[in-house]
């Protein structure tokens, strides 16, 4: 991958941090959007792929605001959305992103794409955790969890007791189970 693309990606991440949340500031100065559009122009030059679909639509700007009457202000929400979309696209296309977890692949990778999107990579299935169990007790609890998760009407008290047991048994095991639980209870893949 071209290191200039990585540099543009980092610049976009920084730029997104500079854009206030819409509830704090409804409109932003055009210099932020100009900088963002310049990054898109640079990506178009560096890549065979066009990135113009990530540009912010001019319909989200208002001219004539400000003291001098010549400023252009942009709505914060569409700008944040487009910048976040481009960041997410670059992360997916070029395997960029900040990952929380171990680089060895033993921990689940949680990638922060933007303020609205989190991607979780499951490094282990429940069956793999069962297969690599070190003790009989661990294997039995994981099998019980697997059976409970496969039920159409899951018993939360049973699942909760196994998770509490896992947290007390091994911090590593507990954190390996969390993405599996998120998959079953809130994040669809």
- The reply to whether 104 falls in a domain is no
The answer to whether residue 113 sits within a structural domain is no
125 and 49, same structural domain? no
Closest CA to 11 of 38, 45, 51: 38
Within 56-114, residue ranges assigned H as helices are 76-94
Note down pLDDT in tens along the chain; length 189 residues.
788 998 999 899 999 988 988 888 988 988 999 999 999 999 999 998 899 999 998 876 765 444 445 578 888 989 999 999 999 889 888 877 654 333 334 444 555 555 555 554 444 577 888 888 888 999 999 989 888 887 778 888 998 999 999 999 988 888 888 877 877 665 444
Same domain as 93, residue 13: yes
Q: Do 140 and 85 share a structural domain? A: no
- The pLDDT assigned to 65 comes to 46
Q: 163 Cβ partners below 8 Å, 6+ apart?
A: 174, 177, 181
**84 and 139: one domain?**
no
Question: What is d(CA 152, CA 144) in angstroms, rounded to the nearest whole number?
Answer: 15
**Tell me, what's the pLDDT at 140?**
92
pTM beyond cutoff 0.85: no
The burial of 66, by beta-carbon neighbours within 10 Å (0-12 exposed, 13-18 middle, 19 or more buried), is given as middle
Q: Which residue, of 30, 64, 97, is where some domain finishes?
A: 97
The Cα–Cα gap between 75 and 22 comes to 8
Q: Which of 63, 97, 131 is the last residue in one of the domains? A: 97
How far is C-alpha 166 from the chain's CA centre? 26
Q: How far apart are CA 25 and CA 28, in angstroms?
A: 7
Give Cβ neighbours of residue 52 (< 8 Å, ≥ 6 apart). Answer: 40, 44
Q: Domain of 51?
A: 3-97
pLDDT at 97: 67
- C-beta neighbour count of 114 within 10 angstroms: 17
Residue 87 and residue 124 share a domain: no
Q: What is the pLDDT of residues 35-88, one digit of tens each?
A: 999 999 999 999 988 999 999 988 767 654 444 455 788 889 899 999 999 998
* Residue 115: per-residue pLDDT: 52
Is the backbone of residue 95 left (phi > 0), alpha (psi -120 to 50) or beta?
left
């Amino acid at each position: 991958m071209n290191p200039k693309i990585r540099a543009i990606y980092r610049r976009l991440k920084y730029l997104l941090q500079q854009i206030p949340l819409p509830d704090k500031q409804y409109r932003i100065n055009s210099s932020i959007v100009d900088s963002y559009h310049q990054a898109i122009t640079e990506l178009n030059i560096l890549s065979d792929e066009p990135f113009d679909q990530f540009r912010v639509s001019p319909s989200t700007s208002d001219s004539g605001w400000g003291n001098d009457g010549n400023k252009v202000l942009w709505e914060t929400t569409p700008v944040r959305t487009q910048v976040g979309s481009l960041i997410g696209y670059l992360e997916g296309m070029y395997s960029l992103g900040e990952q929380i977890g171990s680089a060895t692949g033993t921990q689940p990778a949680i990638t922060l794409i933007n303020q609205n999107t989190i991607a979780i990579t499951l490094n282990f299935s429940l069956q793999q955790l069962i297969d690599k169990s070190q003790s009989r007790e661990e294997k039995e609890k994981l099998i019980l969890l697997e059976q409970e998760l496969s039920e159409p009407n899951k018993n939360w008290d049973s699942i909760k007791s196994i998770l509490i047991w896992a947290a007390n048994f091994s911090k590593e095991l507990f954190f390996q189970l969390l993405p599996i639980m998120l998959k079953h209870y809130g994040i669809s893949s």
